[in-house]
Structure 1
Amino acid sequence: MASTITQIKPSTTLYVERCAATTSVPDIVIMFGWTNGQLKHLSKIASFWRKKGNYHILYYTASHFPYVYFPYKAETLCEGFIPYLHEWKVFDDNNESTASETTSVVNTRRRPKVIAHVFSNGGGGGFAGMIQMLKANNLPFCFSAIILDSLPGAPNVFRFYRLFTATQTNPIKKLLTALISTSIMLLTTPWVTLYLAIIRQKSLVPYIVHALLYEKATNCPRLLLYSKKDALVPYTFVRKTAKMSADMGYVTDEMEFENTEHVKHWVDKREVYENTVNKFLEQNGITLQS
């Protein structure tokens, strides 16, 4: 039976795709999409998890204002995930086995593994926002693994336009989009920074790094995938974060691509990407549940 993606609530950018399998208790992957990303593109990458056959998939696609400029806004949005995490017993410590009404399916009531698959700084803001939301609601939680694709890193303001022009083919539209987006960034960034300082909130990249390195919810293995060719997020920044992570004692794996574009590593080098993630999961005890 094919699975379908449904919107969690009207007028939100959260979605759920329930696992179609009925012979096991599924684990969970949360896909945090990049700035200006669309559900249809995130869903294509989610085919990696879908074909494994044992994952519920949650989607965070809050790719526009205010979430990528005021990251704390993601905290409230991510509350929409709570009912599903409760339903799937993420916070349940009961390990007793019980038979279903039909006795054909056994619910082991184990705590499911939860994996964060995070893309670029836009997805990182949602990822960090979810962690802060869980803390605010006193929900005990720790990810089983974190996969970071093209983050974290302070983006080049003068190349920010590439997020919006990547899918455009008309050269005139590309030029206009580049001029408008760069102008908006240059005009708004100082004011956003000042506002966050006044209300004592971290800007996006420190917000992500803090969540990744200093929160109990992220005390788990992490894999960072990045490219030397990335024109938006400098690979040197990602390397620096990876070193900080390893120095703090976290299991930290890296995959450095030579010639792939920002958040297009799966598209350009799919086999290498998926083999790397599979190896990372297997080495950390995250395998298909039978």
Structure 2
Amino acid sequence: MRAHFKRRNMAELDNLEYYIKFPNPNYNYTQTTNGDSDFVFVIDENKVPVILLFGWAGCQDKYLSKYSQIYEERGLITLRYTAPVKCLFWKRYQMIQIGQKIVKLLIDLNFESHPIVVHCFSNGGAFLYQNFSSALSKSPKPLQIKGVIVDSAPGKRRLGSLYRAISNIIGGTFWYNLPMSILITIVCSIMWIYEILSSLLKPGCSIQSDPFEILKKEKNTWPQHFIYSKADVLIPYQDIEYFADYRENVGVNVTRLCYEDSPHVKHYTHNKESYVNSVCNFINKCLSNGRN
């Protein structure tokens, strides 16, 4: 399939950089993919589903684009965005505005009548989803969110997990990585404490305390699909199962795919067939059940 590709870095959106891809206008939505009819999405061709992909902290788009290809090859619109690392760790207040900009972007693109599914990765993507979800409640036009796929997230805040995440992002030699990772972990920890104290002293303040707890109690009840692994060393699978259980107990339609040995945000790389089956089946279910 050939698709139109467009990359934007627009001043009117305050340099919110994103990547969007549209299917070929002549794409045949009745065709099968690899002979598997499960991959045929029954859709209104005037309202092609939009998949929002929110990358993990430090994610390069060349890696996130491999996931968007799953959907592009099946005739769906994809929009990819990864929040800047500085916004995820030490300028976290800016995430509120980013969430609002993404909602505005979707409305500017006239996507409010299209079914939308979010696919977010790790805590970075989940944190972005949290702010996007919050911004939806203030949107001048309602968006048709049909479901959320959560890959390798969410996880509770722990110093060890924070250190490992920062170390992975920084990379480089051991002697450079170690002191920089420790320093940034200490700074982020101090900011966590400040956020917690601010939320306790000033209830309702805009400072974001704990994304895990905020997402756990979010009011939106569209279906959620969790993909995770028992071998994940960044986010313990027990965190994800606890979160999924909680959401299921408050009435959310929850499905799960747990692997035994795939690394953090690399489940697709290690288990392509089952991963693709899982996300496509979930989207088919979201499109057919008519829930908002």
Question: TM-score, normalising length from structure 1?
Answer: 0.78
- In structure 1, stretches of 5+ residues that fail to align are 92-110
Q: Which residue of 1 aligns with 2:127?
A: 125
Cα distance between partner residues in 2 of 1:83 and 1:35: 23
- In structure 2, stretches of 5+ residues that fail to align are 27-44
Answer yes or no: is the 8 Å Cα contact 1:147–1:223 preserved in 2.
Answer: yes
Q: Which residue of 1 aligns with 2:10?
A: 9
Counterpart of 2:64 (choices 42, 47, 53) is 42
Deviations 1:79-119, CA, capped at 9 Å, x for gaps: 3334542355443xxxxxxxxxxxxxxxxxxx321000011
1:74 CA displacement: 2.2
Cα distance between partner residues in 1 of 2:172 and 2:270: 19
- Partner SS state of residue 10, structure 2: coil
Cα distance between partner residues in 1 of 2:174 and 2:91: 31
Q: Which residue of 1 aligns with 2:106?
A: 85
Q: Which residue of 2 aligns with 1:30?
A: 52
Q: Which runs of 4+ in 1 moved over 6 A?
A: none
Answer yes or no: is the 8 Å Cα contact 1:151–1:226 preserved in 2.
Answer: yes
Distance 1:178 1:237, change over 3 A: same
Cα distance between partner residues in 2 of 1:249 and 1:83: 29
Alignment of 1:58-73 (within 5 A): 58-68=79-89, 73=94
Matched residue type, 1:281:
I
Cα distance between partner residues in 2 of 1:115 and 1:282: 11
Counterpart of 2:195 (choices 176, 192, 195) is 192
1:142 CA displacement: 4.2
Counterpart of 2:184 (choices 181, 193, 198) is 181
Cα distance between partner residues in 1 of 2:261 and 2:159: 21
Answer yes or no: is the 8 Å Cα contact 1:152–1:209 preserved in 2.
Answer: no
1:155 CA displacement: 3.5
Counterpart of 2:149 (choices 133, 136, 147) is 147
Which one is further off, 161-170 or 123-132? 161-170
1:60 CA displacement: 2.7
Which one is further off, 225-234 or 61-70? 61-70
Alignment of 1:1-290 (within 5 A): 1-10=2-11, 12-23=15-26, 24-25=45-46, 26-55=48-77, 57-68=78-89, 73-91=94-112, 111-166=113-168, 168=171, 170-200=173-203, 201=205, 202-211=209-218, 214-215=219-220, 219-285=221-287
Cα distance between partner residues in 1 of 2:6 and 2:183: 33
Cα distance between partner residues in 1 of 2:83 and 2:200: 23
Matched residue type, 1:148:
V
Distance 1:230 1:186, change over 3 A: same
Matched residue type, 1:188:
M
Question: TM-score, normalising length from structure 2?
Answer: 0.78
Q: Identical aligned pairs, as a percentage?
A: 21
Cα distance between partner residues in 1 of 2:98 and 2:8: 13
Matched residue type, 2:186:
S
- How many residues of Structure 1 are paired with residues of Structure 2 in the alignment? 262
1:279 CA displacement: 2.2
Distance 1:13 1:40, change over 3 A: farther
Cα distance between partner residues in 1 of 2:9 and 2:120: 19
Answer yes or no: is the 8 Å Cα contact 1:230–1:261 preserved in 2.
Answer: yes
Cα distance between partner residues in 2 of 1:198 and 1:69: 21
- Partner SS state of residue 53, structure 1: coil
Cα distance between partner residues in 1 of 2:122 and 2:281: 22
- Partner SS state of residue 220, structure 1: coil
Distance 1:209 1:138, change over 3 A: farther
1:185 CA displacement: 3.3
Matched residue type, 1:205:
F
Distance 1:65 1:198, change over 3 A: farther
Answer yes or no: is the 8 Å Cα contact 1:14–1:58 preserved in 2.
Answer: no
